[in-house]
Amino acid sequence: TPNLKIENLRVSIEDKEIIKGLNLEINGGEIHAIMGPNGTGKSTLSSALMGHPKYEVTEGNVTFDGKDLFEMEVDERAKAGLFLAMQYPSEVSGITNADFLRSAINARREEGQEISLMKFIRELDKKMELLEMDSSFAHRYLNEGFSGGEKKRNEILQLMMIEPKIAILDEIDSGLDIDALKVVAKGVNEMRNPEFGCLIITHYQRLLNYITPDKVHVMMQGRIVKSGGPELAQRLEAEGYDWIKEELGIED
Ligand code: ADP
Ligand code: MG
Ligand code: MG
Protein backbone atom coordinates (compact mmCIF):
# COMPACT_ATOMS: atom_id res chain seq x y z
CA THR A 1 0.00 0.00 0.00
CA PRO A 2 1.13 3.59 -0.62
CA ASN A 3 3.42 5.16 1.96
CA LEU A 4 4.87 8.60 2.51
CA LYS A 5 7.33 8.82 5.38
CA ILE A 6 8.82 12.07 6.62
CA GLU A 7 11.61 11.88 9.19
CA ASN A 8 13.23 14.79 11.00
CA LEU A 9 12.63 17.15 8.07
CA ARG A 10 14.20 20.58 8.19
CA VAL A 11 13.51 23.16 5.50
CA SER A 12 14.86 26.69 5.09
CA ILE A 13 13.81 29.59 2.90
CA GLU A 14 16.57 32.08 2.20
CA ASP A 15 18.59 30.72 5.15
CA LYS A 16 15.69 31.06 7.56
CA GLU A 17 14.65 27.73 9.02
CA ILE A 18 10.88 27.22 8.69
CA ILE A 19 10.41 23.46 9.16
CA LYS A 20 12.29 22.38 12.24
CA GLY A 21 12.37 18.63 12.53
CA LEU A 22 9.04 17.29 11.32
CA ASN A 23 7.95 13.65 11.45
CA LEU A 24 4.88 12.25 9.72
CA GLU A 25 3.87 8.98 8.10
CA ILE A 26 0.87 8.53 5.81
CA ASN A 27 -0.29 5.16 4.51
CA GLY A 28 -2.85 4.13 1.93
CA GLY A 29 -6.37 4.14 3.35
CA GLU A 30 -5.59 6.99 5.76
CA ILE A 31 -6.70 10.60 5.78
CA HIS A 32 -4.57 12.89 7.93
CA ALA A 33 -5.17 16.54 8.68
CA ILE A 34 -2.56 19.11 9.65
CA MET A 35 -3.94 22.16 11.39
CA GLY A 36 -2.05 25.12 12.70
CA PRO A 37 -1.89 28.88 13.02
CA ASN A 38 -0.94 31.02 10.03
CA GLY A 39 2.75 31.28 9.23
CA THR A 40 3.68 28.07 10.98
CA GLY A 41 5.10 26.37 7.87
CA LYS A 42 2.22 24.27 6.58
CA SER A 43 2.50 25.44 2.98
CA THR A 44 6.30 25.29 3.22
CA LEU A 45 5.95 21.60 3.98
CA SER A 46 3.88 20.90 0.85
CA SER A 47 6.10 23.07 -1.37
CA ALA A 48 9.23 21.32 -0.09
CA LEU A 49 7.73 17.89 -0.77
CA MET A 50 6.89 18.91 -4.31
CA GLY A 51 10.42 20.17 -4.87
CA HIS A 52 9.95 23.92 -5.15
CA PRO A 53 13.49 25.26 -5.77
CA LYS A 54 13.18 28.07 -3.23
CA TYR A 55 12.75 25.62 -0.36
CA GLU A 56 16.02 24.13 0.80
CA VAL A 57 15.91 20.80 2.58
CA THR A 58 18.76 20.97 5.08
CA GLU A 59 18.14 17.75 6.99
CA GLY A 60 15.96 14.67 7.23
CA ASN A 61 14.59 11.93 5.01
CA VAL A 62 11.42 11.61 3.00
CA THR A 63 10.53 8.36 1.28
CA PHE A 64 7.65 7.72 -1.09
CA ASP A 65 6.93 4.01 -1.39
CA GLY A 66 10.38 3.38 0.02
CA LYS A 67 12.21 5.57 -2.49
CA ASP A 68 14.07 8.74 -1.56
CA LEU A 69 11.67 11.50 -2.63
CA PHE A 70 14.39 14.11 -2.98
CA GLU A 71 16.30 11.90 -5.39
CA MET A 72 13.29 11.99 -7.73
CA GLU A 73 12.78 14.75 -10.30
CA VAL A 74 9.67 16.84 -9.71
CA ASP A 75 7.75 15.31 -12.63
CA GLU A 76 8.82 11.84 -11.46
CA ARG A 77 7.14 12.50 -8.12
CA ALA A 78 3.83 13.22 -9.85
CA LYS A 79 4.32 10.29 -12.18
CA ALA A 80 4.99 7.99 -9.24
CA GLY A 81 1.66 9.05 -7.75
CA LEU A 82 2.22 12.04 -5.49
CA PHE A 83 -0.36 14.78 -5.95
CA LEU A 84 -0.13 18.30 -4.62
CA ALA A 85 -3.00 20.74 -4.80
CA MET A 86 -1.42 24.15 -4.73
CA GLN A 87 -2.82 26.79 -2.48
CA TYR A 88 -2.94 29.06 -5.53
CA PRO A 89 -3.43 26.95 -8.66
CA SER A 90 -1.85 28.50 -11.71
CA GLU A 91 -3.54 29.40 -14.96
CA VAL A 92 -2.38 27.75 -18.14
CA SER A 93 -3.39 29.22 -21.49
CA GLY A 94 -3.84 27.07 -24.55
CA ILE A 95 -4.42 23.81 -22.69
CA THR A 96 -7.97 22.79 -21.96
CA ASN A 97 -8.90 21.08 -18.76
CA ALA A 98 -9.69 17.88 -20.62
CA ASP A 99 -6.33 17.89 -22.47
CA PHE A 100 -4.48 18.49 -19.24
CA LEU A 101 -6.29 15.70 -17.41
CA ARG A 102 -5.80 13.18 -20.17
CA SER A 103 -2.08 13.84 -20.43
CA ALA A 104 -1.72 13.75 -16.63
CA ILE A 105 -3.46 10.37 -16.52
CA ASN A 106 -1.38 9.01 -19.37
CA ALA A 107 1.86 10.29 -17.82
CA ARG A 108 1.31 7.76 -15.05
CA ARG A 109 0.77 4.89 -17.48
CA GLU A 110 3.15 2.76 -19.50
CA GLU A 111 3.35 3.30 -23.23
CA GLY A 112 0.60 1.37 -24.96
CA GLN A 113 -1.55 1.44 -21.79
CA GLU A 114 -2.97 4.93 -22.36
CA ILE A 115 -6.59 5.56 -21.39
CA SER A 116 -8.92 5.31 -24.37
CA LEU A 117 -10.74 8.46 -25.38
CA MET A 118 -14.10 6.78 -24.78
CA LYS A 119 -13.20 5.66 -21.29
CA PHE A 120 -11.67 9.05 -20.49
CA ILE A 121 -14.82 10.89 -21.53
CA ARG A 122 -17.02 8.48 -19.60
CA GLU A 123 -14.96 8.91 -16.42
CA LEU A 124 -14.76 12.67 -16.84
CA ASP A 125 -18.53 12.97 -17.27
CA LYS A 126 -19.18 10.82 -14.22
CA LYS A 127 -16.79 12.75 -11.99
CA MET A 128 -17.91 16.17 -13.17
CA GLU A 129 -21.47 15.20 -12.39
CA LEU A 130 -20.50 14.09 -8.89
CA LEU A 131 -18.71 17.41 -8.36
CA GLU A 132 -21.69 19.31 -9.78
CA MET A 133 -19.55 20.90 -12.49
CA ASP A 134 -20.94 22.22 -15.73
CA SER A 135 -19.76 20.14 -18.70
CA SER A 136 -18.38 23.26 -20.39
CA PHE A 137 -15.58 23.13 -17.83
CA ALA A 138 -13.86 20.34 -19.68
CA HIS A 139 -13.24 22.55 -22.69
CA ARG A 140 -12.17 25.69 -20.91
CA TYR A 141 -8.48 26.55 -20.62
CA LEU A 142 -6.94 25.30 -17.43
CA ASN A 143 -7.93 27.57 -14.55
CA GLU A 144 -8.17 30.59 -16.88
CA GLY A 145 -10.88 32.90 -15.63
CA PHE A 146 -12.00 30.35 -13.03
CA SER A 147 -13.32 31.75 -9.79
CA GLY A 148 -11.60 30.69 -6.58
CA GLY A 149 -14.30 28.12 -5.91
CA GLU A 150 -14.14 26.77 -9.47
CA LYS A 151 -10.38 26.28 -9.17
CA LYS A 152 -10.80 24.27 -5.98
CA ARG A 153 -13.50 22.12 -7.53
CA ASN A 154 -11.24 21.64 -10.50
CA GLU A 155 -8.41 20.48 -8.26
CA ILE A 156 -10.68 17.83 -6.83
CA LEU A 157 -11.63 16.82 -10.36
CA GLN A 158 -7.91 16.47 -11.12
CA LEU A 159 -7.49 14.39 -7.97
CA MET A 160 -10.34 12.07 -8.90
CA MET A 161 -9.22 11.64 -12.51
CA ILE A 162 -5.48 11.24 -11.85
CA GLU A 163 -6.04 8.84 -8.92
CA PRO A 164 -2.72 9.46 -7.16
CA LYS A 165 -1.43 7.22 -4.38
CA ILE A 166 -0.86 10.06 -1.94
CA ALA A 167 -2.37 13.55 -2.16
CA ILE A 168 -1.48 16.68 -0.24
CA LEU A 169 -4.27 19.21 -0.30
CA ASP A 170 -3.17 22.61 0.98
CA GLU A 171 -6.03 24.89 2.02
CA ILE A 172 -8.40 23.28 -0.40
CA ASP A 173 -11.19 24.78 1.73
CA SER A 174 -10.10 28.42 1.82
CA GLY A 175 -12.58 30.86 0.35
CA LEU A 176 -15.25 28.24 -0.29
CA ASP A 177 -18.89 28.73 0.57
CA ILE A 178 -20.64 25.90 2.36
CA ASP A 179 -22.05 24.29 -0.82
CA ALA A 180 -18.66 24.24 -2.55
CA LEU A 181 -17.10 22.92 0.65
CA LYS A 182 -19.54 20.01 0.70
CA VAL A 183 -18.79 19.21 -2.94
CA VAL A 184 -15.03 19.22 -2.27
CA ALA A 185 -15.58 16.93 0.73
CA LYS A 186 -17.76 14.60 -1.36
CA GLY A 187 -14.94 14.24 -3.87
CA VAL A 188 -12.32 13.45 -1.22
CA ASN A 189 -14.64 10.98 0.54
CA GLU A 190 -15.31 9.27 -2.78
CA MET A 191 -11.54 8.74 -3.13
CA ARG A 192 -11.24 6.88 0.16
CA ASN A 193 -9.76 3.44 -0.47
CA PRO A 194 -6.78 1.35 0.68
CA GLU A 195 -4.71 2.49 -2.31
CA PHE A 196 -5.06 6.18 -1.51
CA GLY A 197 -3.67 8.24 1.34
CA CYS A 198 -4.38 11.92 1.89
CA LEU A 199 -2.97 14.83 3.85
CA ILE A 200 -5.36 17.73 4.28
CA ILE A 201 -3.71 20.97 5.36
CA THR A 202 -6.13 23.48 6.77
CA HIS A 203 -6.35 26.48 8.99
CA TYR A 204 -10.00 25.86 9.86
CA GLN A 205 -11.82 22.89 11.28
CA ARG A 206 -15.00 23.26 9.19
CA LEU A 207 -13.86 21.04 6.28
CA LEU A 208 -13.32 18.28 8.84
CA ASN A 209 -17.04 18.38 9.63
CA TYR A 210 -17.51 16.73 6.23
CA ILE A 211 -14.32 14.68 5.90
CA THR A 212 -13.57 12.69 9.03
CA PRO A 213 -9.79 12.36 9.29
CA ASP A 214 -8.17 9.30 10.84
CA LYS A 215 -5.52 11.47 12.43
CA VAL A 216 -5.23 15.16 13.24
CA HIS A 217 -1.85 16.83 13.75
CA VAL A 218 -1.21 20.27 15.14
CA MET A 219 1.70 22.13 13.61
CA MET A 220 3.34 25.02 15.40
CA GLN A 221 6.62 26.75 14.74
CA GLY A 222 7.69 24.24 12.12
CA ARG A 223 6.95 21.03 14.00
CA ILE A 224 4.09 18.71 14.73
CA VAL A 225 3.51 19.35 18.40
CA LYS A 226 0.43 17.24 19.01
CA SER A 227 -1.44 14.40 17.26
CA GLY A 228 -4.82 12.86 17.94
CA GLY A 229 -8.11 11.84 16.40
CA PRO A 230 -10.97 13.94 14.99
CA GLU A 231 -11.83 15.15 18.50
CA LEU A 232 -8.59 17.16 18.50
CA ALA A 233 -9.86 19.23 15.55
CA GLN A 234 -13.11 19.87 17.40
CA ARG A 235 -11.28 21.06 20.48
CA LEU A 236 -9.17 23.44 18.34
CA GLU A 237 -12.33 24.83 16.80
CA ALA A 238 -13.86 25.42 20.21
CA GLU A 239 -10.80 26.63 22.11
CA GLY A 240 -8.24 27.81 19.54
CA TYR A 241 -4.53 27.06 19.88
CA ASP A 242 -3.67 28.77 23.15
CA TRP A 243 -4.26 25.72 25.35
CA ILE A 244 -1.70 23.77 23.32
CA LYS A 245 0.83 26.56 23.68
CA GLU A 246 0.27 26.53 27.43
CA GLU A 247 0.41 22.76 27.62
CA LEU A 248 3.72 22.68 25.78
CA GLY A 249 5.17 25.91 27.11
CA ILE A 250 5.42 27.48 23.65
CA GLU A 251 5.67 31.23 23.38
CA ASP A 252 4.86 33.31 20.29
P1 ADP B 1 1.40 28.52 6.70
O2 ADP B 1 1.09 27.79 5.43
O3 ADP B 1 1.41 27.64 7.90
O4 ADP B 1 0.53 29.71 6.89
P5 ADP B 1 3.88 29.18 5.34
O6 ADP B 1 4.55 27.88 5.10
O7 ADP B 1 3.17 29.80 4.20
O8 ADP B 1 2.91 29.05 6.61
O9 ADP B 1 4.94 30.22 5.88
C10 ADP B 1 5.84 29.91 6.94
C11 ADP B 1 6.88 31.01 7.08
O12 ADP B 1 7.73 31.01 5.94
C13 ADP B 1 6.30 32.41 7.15
O14 ADP B 1 7.09 33.14 8.05
C15 ADP B 1 6.46 32.94 5.74
O16 ADP B 1 6.62 34.33 5.74
C17 ADP B 1 7.73 32.25 5.28
N18 ADP B 1 7.69 31.99 3.84
C19 ADP B 1 6.90 31.11 3.20
N20 ADP B 1 7.13 31.09 1.87
C21 ADP B 1 8.09 32.02 1.65
C22 ADP B 1 8.78 32.49 0.48
N23 ADP B 1 8.51 31.97 -0.73
N24 ADP B 1 9.74 33.42 0.66
C25 ADP B 1 10.01 33.91 1.88
N26 ADP B 1 9.42 33.51 3.00
C27 ADP B 1 8.47 32.58 2.91
MG1 MG C 1 -0.80 30.84 5.30
MG1 MG D 1 -0.37 27.96 4.02
- The ipTM (two decimal places) reads 0.94
Lowest-confidence region among 76-85, 106-115, 129-138, 142-151:
142-151
Ligand 1 lined by 18 (C-beta under 6 Å)? yes
Domain total of the chain: 1
pLDDT on residue 161: 94
pLDDT on residue 108: 86
Asked if residue 130 belongs to a domain, the reply is: no
Q: Which atom of ligand 1 is nearest to the CA of 222?
A: 10
In this structure, the number of other CB atoms found within 10 A of the CB of residue 180 comes to 20
| Confidence category of residue 89, pLDDT binned at 50, 70, 90 | low
Ligand 1 lined by 138 (C-beta under 6 Å)? no
By the 10 Å C-beta count (0-12 exposed, 13-18 middle, 19+ buried), 93 is classed as exposed
Q: Is the pLDDT confidence value at 88 over 60?
A: no
Asked if residue 16 belongs to a domain, the reply is: yes
Average pLDDT for 190-206: 94
Asked if residue 202 belongs to a domain, the reply is: yes
Strand pairing class (55-64; 67-68): antiparallel
Nearest CA owner, ligand 1 atom 26: 13
Taking the C-alpha atoms of residue 167 and residue 199, their distance in angstroms, rounded to an integer, is: 6
Average pLDDT for 75-88: 80
Q: Which atom of ligand 1 is nearest to the CA of 45?
A: 6
Whether 208 contacts 233, CB under 8 Å: yes
Taking the C-alpha atoms of residue 163 and residue 158, their distance in angstroms, rounded to an integer, is: 8
Asked if residue 18 belongs to a domain, the reply is: yes
- Looking at every residue in the chain, the average pLDDT score rounds to 92
Asked if residue 203 belongs to a domain, the reply is: yes
The domain that contains 51 carries what CATH number? 3.40.50.300
Asked if residue 140 belongs to a domain, the reply is: no
Asked if residue 132 belongs to a domain, the reply is: no
Q: Which of 191, 187, 213 is nearest to 35 (CA)?
A: 213
* Residue 64 domain boundaries: 3-94+164-248
Asked if residue 142 belongs to a domain, the reply is: no
Ligand 1 lined by 54 (C-beta under 6 Å)? yes
pLDDT on residue 216: 98
